[in-house]
């Protein structure tokens, strides 16, 4: 049986909850962590149409980017939009999970998907999140070193730049005496034991520290594993909001706007700037990223690609000499949905779990283009 908790754990390995903004509401919003999951529907938003789609597919778990429950609820009235959707989900026995700003800030999340879709290269995080790094050291009996090391790497530990599963290992001798009541994996109660062991050490970002240790403990053979956690002075620059990089080839702003309109399959884009200006370096932020205008300019971007840009924000960008392409909130984030669904399929399949993971076909964009 695949539980809701298991699916949650897989999502949080990819987008740790610790990466979410303080004002956000991520995680399980409706449902039972111990409940069975039969199939999953991945969507940008939870609407009544999406709930009906889940029911028609037999999907009893919805994984959404935008939270259904965003602000604090003082009541759960069925005559309110949110209350009715929660009630319908409960009546249909559907779990609802949201991965929002944690999916924005994670390494292969919304913004990296958007960067790939519009063809940015040599990408870097635009607004880095201050993320602490820890060194985790664990002592493992001979014969189990690869199992423990791989489990920690699977959890995301040991990522250094473009390299993953980085660790250091040395051999030595461990000693211990099992006391009364112990059930030792090696040795007997009351007798001092000496066994060949390996010291494994790897670097772990704060956002996945607890999940990495949990993974290590799950596969470690000892009843009471010995491990240390050290706070490092290093900072992790892999997490954060937005991306910045170079176009595959320089384009005039007007041509780039047309390309992005096609890349994102959206009916319109809004453009601020000289349409003939040559764009080489672009910043982007899925959703609403106008608050990154000054940062994009300071990092020598020629254009900021995002959504939900207000009039005065566009005026500010124009005064700074930064072009804007507003492709809308929906179009700049929905590129993430099929990639999240594919991630879930691969992870579940790798663990030997065979359930369907669907990508929603419902267009939840509230805007309609009217051409007069």
CATH number, domain with residue 321: 3.40.1390.30
- Within this chain, do residues 25 and 50 fall inside the same structural domain, yes or no? yes
Check whether residue 146 and residue 217 sit in a common domain.
Answer: yes
Residue 162 forms part of a structural domain: yes
Is 336 inside any structural domain? Answer: no
247 plus 325 within the same structural domain? yes
Give pLDDT, residue 70: 92
What residue numbers bound the domain in which 94 lies? 4-105
CATH number, position 199:
3.30.70.120
118, 266: one domain: yes
Taken in order 125, 41, 97, 203, is the CA torsion positive or negative?
negative
30, 163: one domain: no
Residue 232 in domain: yes
Residue 68 lies in a domain: yes
Residue 370 within any structural domain of the chain = no
Domain check: are 264 and 292 in the same one? yes
For residues 364 and 73, give the distance between their C-alpha atoms in angstroms, rounded to a whole number: 23
122 and 47 housed in the same domain: no
Rounded CA gap, 157 and 338, in Å?
A: 25
Position 193 scores a pLDDT of 85
**How high is the pLDDT of residue 130?**
64
Per-residue pLDDT, 208: 84
Indicate the pTM of the whole model.
0.82
The pLDDT of residue 16 is 85
Claim to verify: residue 199 and residue 293 sit in the same structural domain: no
Residue 123 shares a structural domain with residue 245: yes
Whether 179 is covered by a domain: the verdict is: yes
Question: Do 9 and 56 belong to one domain?
Answer: yes
Instruction: Please tell me whether residues 90 and 226 are part of one structural domain.
Output: no
Query: What residues have CB less than 8 Å from 321, skipping those under 6 apart?
Result: 297
Q: Where are the beta strands (DSSP E) in 206-302?
A: 227-236, 240-252, 270-272, 278-288
Same domain, 248 and 117: yes
Considering the domain boundaries, does residue 356 fall inside one?
no
Show the low-confidence residues of the chain (pLDDT under 70): 130, 372
Per-residue confidence (pLDDT) for residue 164, from 0 to 100: 84
Characterize the bridge pairing of strands 40-43 and 357-359.
Answer: parallel
Domain endpoint, select from 212, 236, 260: 236
Polymer length in residues for the chain: 372
Provide the domain count of the chain.
3
Q: Which of 236, 257, 289 is the last residue of a domain?
A: 236
Residue 47 belongs to some domain of the structure: yes
Specify the long-range contacts of residues 6-11, CB closer than 8 Å, at least 24 apart: 6/37, 6/353, 7/37, 7/40, 7/61, 7/63, 7/97, 7/344, 7/348, 8/33, 8/97, 9/211, 10/344, 10/347, 10/348, 11/63, 11/97, 11/99, 11/344
Domain end position, chosen among 236, 264, 283: 236
What does each C-alpha distance from 39 to 103, 182, 347, 353 come to in angstroms? 21, 42, 14, 11
């Amino acid at each position: 049986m695949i539980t809701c908790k298991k699916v949650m754990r897989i999502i949080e390995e990819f987008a740790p909850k610790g990466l979410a903004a303080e004002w956000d509401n991520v995680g399980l919003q409706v449902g039972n962590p111990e409940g069975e999951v039969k199939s999953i529907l991945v969507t940008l938003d939870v609407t009544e149409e999406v709930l009906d789609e889940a029911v028609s597919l037999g999907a009893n778990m919805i994984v959404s980017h935008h939270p259904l429950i965003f602000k604090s609820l003082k009541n759960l009235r069925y005559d309110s939009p949110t209350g009715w959707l929660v009630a319908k989900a409960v009546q249909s026995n559907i779990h609802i999970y949201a991965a929002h700003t944690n999916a924005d800030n994670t390494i292969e999340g919304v913004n990296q998907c958007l960067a790939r879709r519009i063809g940015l290269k040599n990408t870097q995080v635009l607004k880095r999140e201050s993320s602490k790094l820890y060194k985790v050291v664990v002592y493992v009996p001979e014969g189990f070193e690869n199992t423990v090391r791989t489990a920690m790497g699977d959890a995301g530990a040991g990522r250094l730049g473009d390299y993953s599963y980085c660790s250091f290992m040395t051999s030595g001798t461990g000693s211990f005496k099992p006391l009364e009541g112990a059930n030792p994996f090696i040795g007997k109660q009351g007798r001092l034991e000496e066994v060949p062991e390996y010291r494994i050490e790897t670097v772990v970002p704060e956002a996945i520290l607890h999940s990495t240790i949990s993974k290590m403990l799950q596969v470690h053979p000892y009843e009471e594993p010995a491990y240390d956690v050290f706070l490092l002075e290093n900072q992790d620059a892999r997490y954060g909001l937005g991306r910045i990089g170079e176009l595959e080839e320089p384009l005039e702003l007007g041509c780039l706007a047309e390309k992005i309109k096609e890349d994102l399959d959206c009916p319109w884009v809004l453009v601020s700037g000289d349409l003939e200006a040559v764009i080489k370096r672009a910043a982007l932020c899925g959703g609403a990223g106008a608050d990154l205008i000054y940062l994009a300019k300071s990092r020598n971007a020629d254009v900021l690609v995002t959504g939900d840009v207000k009039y005065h924000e566009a005026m500010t960008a124009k005064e700074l000499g930064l072009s804007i392409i507003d492709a809308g909130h929906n179009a700049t984030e929905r590129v993430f949905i099929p990639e999240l669904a594919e991630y879930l399929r691969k992870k579940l399949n790798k663990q030997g779990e065979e359930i369907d993971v669907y990508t929603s076909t419902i267009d939840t964009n509230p805007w309609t283009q009217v051409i007069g």
